[in-house]
Amino acid sequence: MEVSYKQYLISNDQSRIDVQTVIDYLARSYWADRRPVETIKQSIRGSLCYGVYFQDEMIGFARVVTDGATMFYLCDAFVLEDYRGQGISKKLVEAIANAPEFEWMTGVLGTRDAHGLYEQFGFARV
C-alpha cells in the first residue's frame, strides 16, 4: 500500500522502515523510553509497519498488531518533530484506519496526548 500526501509518501513496505529512526524516537517517547533495543527490533519484525517518507528519509512511523480477523492495535505512532503541524499524523492514521485489511476490524490504541486525532477515525476514549 502506498498513499501520497503533499510531498510525502506513506508506505507499508517493511523493507523501507528505518529501524534506527524508530529506536531513536522511541527512546525519547513517554511510552517506550525504557523499551530495550532488541525488543523494538522484534516488535517491528512481528508487526505490520507503516512509514512516512520525505524523499528517501523516514519521518513518520506507526506499527499495527492484529489477529487478522477482529481487531488491530495501533501503536508506536509518531511524526518527527520537524515535520509536525502539516497534517501528516492525520493522514497516516487515516491510511491505516481505512486500509481494506482493517475495514471490518475494531481498532484499539492507547494515548496520553492525542485523543482528538484518533477520535476522528472512529477510535473511542475508554
Strand partners, 63: 49, 75
Distance from C-alpha of 116 to C-alpha of 75, rounded to nearest angstrom: 16
Residue 80 within any structural domain of the chain? yes
Mean pLDDT over the full length of the chain = 88
How many Cβ atoms are within 10 Å of 2's Cβ, its own excluded?
10
pTM, entire model:
0.86
pLDDT for the residue numbered 114: 47
pLDDT in tens, 7-44: 999 999 999 999 999 999 999 998 899 999 999 999 99
Q: What is the span of the domain harbouring residue 23?
A: 2-119
Identify whether the C-beta of residue 101 lies closer than 8 Å to the C-beta of residue 65: no
- The total domain count for the chain is 1
pLDDT for the residue numbered 92: 94
Q: What is the CATH number of the domain that holds 51?
A: 3.40.630.30
Residue 124 within any structural domain of the chain? no
